[in-house]
Amino acid sequence: MDLIKELKDIENEIINWRRELHKRAEVGLNLPQTESYIKSELEKMGIEYKLYENCSGISAVIGKKEGKVLALRADIDALPIEEQNDFDFISKNKAMHACGHDAHGAMLLGVAKVLKQNENSLNGKVKIIFQPGEEYDGGAKVMIDEGVLENPKVDAIFAQHVALLPGLKTGMVVIKDNQVMASSDRVDIKVKGKGGHASTPESCIDPIIMATQVINNIYIMLSREFSALDSTCISIVNVKSEQPDRPAYNIIPNYVEIKASVRCLENKSRDYVNKRIEEIVKNTVEGFKGSYEYNYKYGYPALVNSPNMTSIVKDSAKEVLGDSSVINMPRGVMGSEDASYLLEKVPGAYYGVVVGNLKEEGYYPAHHPKMKIDESGLVKGALVLMQSTINFFNQD
């Protein structure tokens, strides 16, 4: 049994799967074309699968022996971007796989095919998970709520993401222990005053003055109450006052709406930020005789890797790609990823596989309408995922 050789032999299939998924780019939790295509490919492989009621998620269990259960997760949704590439498999439905989720689905299909062909030799079970809704809707949580980590109960998980980075060669693995990506929360604030004529501010309760002070005080709180070494980021992303359809220059509005993004590498910081922002809003606004509405929406939690699981990935990558293939991330990043919901429930490793050098001409970053990947990285990512699976089951 040489699963690595078998996987290398189907490199062209993996590339074709990626291109077919790319053409079918869809956004959100419901991906009918993508779901139909993945189902048909699993059926060709003889893999029985499970569907989910509230999203286009698909899972399947491979392996007949009792033992540990390892999950392998690929997100499969796209972005609402109109593609500007010129190759013959571009998406034409005003959605684009500009974050490489088509590659994730293709790599997992490749691993699934080889695992199924060697099912009797597995010392446990592998649960493959094709998950929609990563970009916006938290599809990981939707699938967790529908039991994706149960029956059989998952013991650990691997999830990989393609990466386009400056100066790194295709196939390199970028990984970090512990805190990897930040949480992502949203804040909606409505500062309410009393509007009136711009010439008589003394008869008004000016929400613009109050909103300005709220914003300043939030930023002061962040710089004075958090250590400079803490990775907590608050950004005011939108400020909008009440305005008639035709802009007026002689009206003080009744209210101002503020929207903010909160990101924390430490999940424990989120409750403190929530509490302090509302205290600041309350004390500031009421001090000016105004009132407010406040809503803090908890989004994706911070993504935290298990050092034991990252160790398996590092060793596996070195086995199949060479000792120089692994890059240890020096610090976490403030972007977010809903695989964090899965890693809250079970130990796991989330890591990047490089599929393009941003210093080379023709490569663009993720979420760009001309984003493309070096497809030679697909089989390399699949090899790392396969070897990590093998080494997980061989671990004592």
Strand ranges in the chain using DSSP code E only, listed in sequence order: 50-51, 58-62, 68-75, 124-131, 156-165, 173-175, 178-181, 184-192, 196-197, 232-241, 251-252, 255-264, 291-300, 303-305, 326-328, 348-357
- Compute how many other C-beta atoms are within 10 angstroms of the C-beta atom of residue 267: 17
User: Could you give the C-alpha distances from 112 to 43, 116, 359, 383, in angstroms and in order?
Assistant: 12, 6, 33, 12
Is 53 exposed, middle or buried, given 0-12, 13-18 or 19+ CB atoms closer than 10 A?
Answer: exposed
Do the annotations mark residue 99 as ligand-binding? yes
Burial 111-138 (b: 16+ CB within 10 A, else e): bbbbbbbebeebebbbbbbbbbbbbebb
**202: DSSP letter:** G
106: closest CA among 164, 41, 49, 9?
Answer: 41
Q: Which amino acid is at 179?
A: Q
With vertex at residue 384, the alpha carbon angle to CA 378 and CA 390, rounded to the nearest 5 degrees, is 135
Do the annotations mark residue 161 as ligand-binding? yes
86 is catalytic: no
Positive or negative CA dihedral for 387, 356, 351, 16?
negative
Annotated catalytic residue within 26, 77, 155, 185: 77
**Do the beta carbons of residue 346 and residue 149 sit within 8 Å?**
yes
Listed in sequence order, the residues at least 6 apart from 18 whose beta carbon sits closer than 8 Å to its beta carbon are: 102, 103, 105, 106, 375, 378
Beta bridge partners of 232: 264
257 is catalytic: no
17: closest CA among 87, 127, 108?
Answer: 108
234: closest CA among 288, 197, 184?
Answer: 184
User: What is the DSSP pairing of strand 291-300 with strand 50-51?
Assistant: unpaired
Do the annotations mark residue 367 as ligand-binding? yes
Annotated catalytic residue within 134, 185, 206, 337: 134
Do the annotations mark residue 135 as ligand-binding? yes
Q: Which amino acid is at 269?
A: S
- Residues annotated within the binding site for Mn(2+) are 99, 101, 135, 161, 367
> What amino acid positions are annotated as catalytic residues?
77, 134
Binding residues: 99, 101, 135, 161, 367
